[in-house]
Amino acid sequence: MVTNTIRQIVIVGGGSAGWLTAAVLASRYRGLEQGGLRITLIESPDVAPIGVGEGTWPTMRDTLREAGVSETAFFRSCDAAFKQGSRFNRWVTGGADDYYFHPFVLPQGYGEADIARHWQQHHGGVPFADMVSYQPHLCVAGRGPKQLSTPEFAAVANYGYHLDAGKFGVFLRAHCLEKLGVHYVPDHVTGIRSHDNGDIAALHTKAHGDLEGDLFVDCTGMQSMLLGKHYGIPFLPQRGVLFNDSALAVQVPYAHETDPIASQTTSTAQEAGWIWDIGLPTRRGVGHVYSSAHISDDQAERQLRAYLKQSGAGEDIPAPRKLSFEPGYRAKFWHRNCVAIGLSSGFIEPLEASALAMVELSAAMLADEMPVTRGQMGAAAARFNETFAYRWERVIDFLKLHYVLSRREDSAGSGYWRDNRRPETIPERLQNLLLLWRHRPPSRYDINRIQEVFPAASYQYVLYGMGFRHEPGPALRHDDGALADGFLRDAANLTRRMLPALPDNRALIDHICRHGLQQR
């Protein structure tokens, strides 16, 4: 077993995680008949994917491009739209005028001048993101992130996607089978056969017998069939830090087919959670994420329906779909010859759309670190486990930051926002960072890995959007302030130039679906 060559990869489970992983691996490695790897995906035909992961990060553009996907075909098949960031409503005080943006473009001059401190000292009355970036203004105006002539995957303003998760899985499956040579087995896994050393040797299936492999990828969702159930790798719950464990999701049609498509995910804080609102070309995806310890399902549904009514939805809204989850992640993600990717490795909550980004990062690292022999697998697994333990901790820190800085009062008596600010619920890592940030902005020294899920700029957008201010420190040199002012003028000039030059978001998407995008 120590010298066995890795030739057969078996992915268990489809959906976005399984098929995205298959696409990344199959596009990187040639097929078995050419001396490469054979990628097989087995998927139960009776298990429907959860299908509510509808937001991505800009990294998805590179992932799809490298897998050989046509962006035009992706838009046409997945009911896709552009996403340029997130807007947070009522997270700070709960007031009607309480909002801020977390855009996808870096602050103008980021890394070249102390923009954040200069903004606070001289322009603190203007929202940070609005001052240092043109992208919030594009979102408010409903502009798309590229012109009609901009080629596939290229951008004028950085963007990710909103998409129909169910259609996305079907689209990736067709691409994997038709273009990438992935082998597909629609069947039920009924048992697991192991080698004497504890490695998985084969999966027993209902109709196809034993399916052998050298490396198995667990994309079976929250049941974690291989890593969790078979190997018993412990789950590390995080409900003591982030309380949300339930969601009510609903699909809402537009009142008119020409209604605007939002250029951002909108997150609106509620009594004991928050509501997401995602615009697709044919509908909105809306859901209420909340803590079952602080509010009942009935109360949560009433608040969701009140939001829908206020946001212009019609009266005929279907009953929302209830989802329950335990926030947390596995103690290990790669054990022996089994790697967990997607919900089988962990899930916190959909705030900031980290779920699909973690799938991308996992699949990319697996492709990069793919061992040639079984003897190398232990070293690869150790690196993978250390990397993703760090990444899950960073996701938790970043999401908790939104709650820690809120000044909302629990007027309905749930205690949710007050409990989120209790020191014992704040990870020590985040407490130490907040201590450092009392006198300086988040920087590359704090968030210092090459591939961070959330870079230091993202922490700045949330920190200052939530009203955080630094305590007085040494004054900036005059030339530093002048340099920062120049970058702020650049941001304002870009805003003035881009607003009339970029098309309406719906008009851009309609153009893509009808006429396609230029190839690079």
Ranges of each domain in the chain:
8-54+164-238+328-382, 246-324
pLDDT digits (tens, 9 = 90+) for 332-349: 999 999 999 999 999 999
Rounded to 10°, the helix 505-515/71-78 angle is 110
Question: 8-54+164-238+328-382 domain in CATH 3.40.50.720?
Answer: no
pLDDT of residue 500: 98
Q: Are the CB atoms for 176 and 19 separated by under 8 Å?
A: yes
Give tens-digit pLDDT for 9-66: 999 999 999 999 999 999 999 877 777 899 999 999 877 666 556 999 999 999 999 9
Structure tokens at 450: 């090459």
Q: Give 520 or 79, the one with higher predicted confidence.
A: 79
Q: pLDDT digits over 162-195, tens only?
A: 999 999 999 999 999 999 999 999 999 999 999 9
Residue range 445-491, pLDDT digits in tens: 999 888 888 999 999 999 999 999 999 877 666 668 889 999 999 99
Q: Is pLDDT of 278 > 90?
A: yes
Cα 74 from Cα 81, distance rounded (Å): 10
- Token look-up 């340099």 returns 483
For residue 232, which phi and psi values (nearest 5 degrees)? 70, 30
Please tell me the predicted confidence (pLDDT) of residue 2.
45
How long, in residues, is the chain? 520
Q: 324 pLDDT exceeds 70? A: yes
Kind and range of the H or E element at 228?
Answer: none
Residue type, 233: I
Q: What is the pLDDT of residue 448?
A: 85
How far is residue 399's CA from residue 402's CA, in Å, rounded to a whole number? 6
- What b/e readout covers 502-515, taking b as 16+ CB neighbours within 10 angstroms? bbebbebbebbeee
CA 480 vs CA 105, 112, 315, 486, 487: distances in Å: 22, 9, 56, 10, 11
Q: Are 265 and 276 in contact (CB under 8 A)?
A: yes
Provide CB contacts within 8 A for 94, sequence distance 6+: 269, 408, 409, 411
Q: Which amino acid is residue 424, in one-letter code?
A: E
CA 459/CA 345 separation, integer angstroms: 25
pTM here?
Answer: 0.95
- As given in the structure block, the two tokens for residue 468 are 């955080």
Instruction: Report residue 438: phi and psi, to 5°.
Output: -60, -30
